[in-house]
């Protein structure tokens, strides 16, 4: 990359970053609503209202407290806001080429933030979030396909099936939950748009990051003389983070 390209790229990013950060901050309130609703253990009904006062909560402030009774719902204070802003800025940096592909990336990132918090909290990726994520990404990639040509469309399909198959195998072996497969299909297809190296790189980055996190947790447990129960790591956040890292590093 020449100096001119760096300068042009740098100058063009100046107004984009604050706008992306603001969008991320505004998205955090409804994302908190989704996290509070879907972060419930397997087999329990969705949390459609505040458990303390019954108020329907679709938007939540950065404190994460119910506007009716101040009960803490879902994620901790400013956690969703910080992640949503960071992810929105990362998507803005990663965006180039077709608008519909950027929209697919933004859609996956938006629902991905909710999924990451839900999985970290209750170790599940609800179909109510992963299926809309997959549907939106599929529709937007199909809209982009005529501009990209059959080779790129075929690569998206094969990458989706490859990543989906790896996760389905892990589900079958009992290492992952069933909601992980739609997420794998969506991320595989989306990363496949950018190339095989990005799709496989995303999966590899996810495994490395999850392995590192699991090892750090195990070492921390050992240091505190607590029992270590395998590598108990939520996979969803690392799949999403690995995908974002691969798209940024391409």
User: 65 pairs with which residues across the strands?
Assistant: 72
Q: Roughly what angle, to the nearest 10 degrees, separates helices 180-194 and 196-223?
A: 130
Among 30, 62, 68, 214, binds Zn ion (CB under 5 A): 68
Contact status: 50 vs Zn ion (CB under 5 A): yes
Among 71, 95, 207, 213, binds Zn ion (CB under 5 A): 71
Total residue count of the chain as it appears in this document: 250
Q: Closest distance between Zn ion and the C-beta of residue 151, in Å?
A: 53
Contact status: 235 vs Zn ion (CB under 5 A): no
Q: Closest distance between Zn ion and the C-beta of residue 119, in Å?
A: 24
Among 23, 27, 28, 66, binds Zn ion (CB under 5 A): 66
Q: Closest distance between Zn ion and the C-beta of residue 231, in Å?
A: 36
Which one, 55 or 226, has the nearer CB to Zn ion?
55
Among 13, 19, 53, 231, binds Zn ion (CB under 5 A): 53
Which one, 69 or 99, has the nearer CB to Zn ion?
69
Q: Closest distance between Zn ion and the C-beta of residue 76, in Å?
A: 17
Q: Which stretch binds Zn ion (CB under 5 A): 65-73, 117-125, 134-142, 164-172?
A: 65-73
3-class secondary structure, 171: helix
H/E element, 232: none
Contact status: 59 vs Zn ion (CB under 5 A): no
Q: List the one residue out of 59, 35, 199, 176 whose CA is nearest residue 111.
A: 35
3-class secondary structure, 164: helix
Contact status: 60 vs Zn ion (CB under 5 A): no
How far apart (Å, rounded) are the C-alpha atoms in residues 226 and 230?
Answer: 12
Contact status: 246 vs Zn ion (CB under 5 A): no
User: 72 pairs with which residues across the strands?
Assistant: 65
Q: Which stretch binds Zn ion (CB under 5 A): 52-60, 130-138, 185-193, 220-228?
A: 52-60
The three-point CA angle 40-178-243 to 5° equals: 90
Contact status: 52 vs Zn ion (CB under 5 A): yes
Q: List the one residue out of 234, 154, 237, 155 whose CA is nearest residue 200.
A: 155
- Alpha helices, DSSP H only, in the chain? 3-38, 79-94, 99-122, 127-148, 150-172, 180-194, 196-223, 235-249
Which one, 46 or 196, has the nearer CB to Zn ion?
46
| Interaction site with Zn ion (CB under 5 A) | 50, 52-53, 55, 66, 68-69, 71
């Amino acid at each position: 990359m020449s100096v001119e390209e760096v300068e042009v790229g740098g100058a063009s990013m100046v107004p984009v970053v604050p706008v992306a950060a603001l969008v991320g901050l505004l998205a955090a309130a409804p994302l908190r609503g989704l996290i509070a609703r879907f972060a419930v253990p397997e087999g329990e009904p969705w949390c459609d209202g505040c458990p303390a006062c019954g108020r329907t909560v679709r938007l939540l402030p950065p404190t994460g407290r119910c506007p009716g009774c101040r009960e803490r719902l879902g994620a901790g204070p400013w956690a969703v806001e910080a992640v949503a802003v960071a992810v929105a800025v990362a998507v803005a940096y990663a965006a180039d080429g077709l608008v519909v592909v950027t929209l697919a990336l933004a859609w996956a990132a938006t629902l991905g933030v909710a999924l990451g918090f839900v999985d970290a909290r209750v170790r599940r990726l609800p179909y109510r979030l992963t299926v809309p994520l997959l549907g939106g990404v599929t529709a937007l990639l199909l809209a982009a396909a005529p501009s990209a040509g059959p080779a790129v469309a075929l690569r998206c399909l094969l990458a989706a099936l490859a990543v989906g198959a790896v996760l389905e195998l892990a589900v079958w072996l009992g290492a992952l939950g069933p909601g992980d497969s739609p997420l794998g299909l969506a991320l595989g297809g989306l990363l496949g748009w950018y190339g095989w190296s990005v799709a496989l790189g995303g999966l590899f980055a996810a495994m490395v990051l999850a392995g590192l996190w699991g090892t750090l947790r195990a070492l921390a447990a050992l240091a505190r003389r607590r029992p270590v129960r395998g590598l108990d790591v939520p996979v969803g956040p690392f799949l999403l983070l690995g995908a974002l890292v691969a798209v940024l590093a391409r």
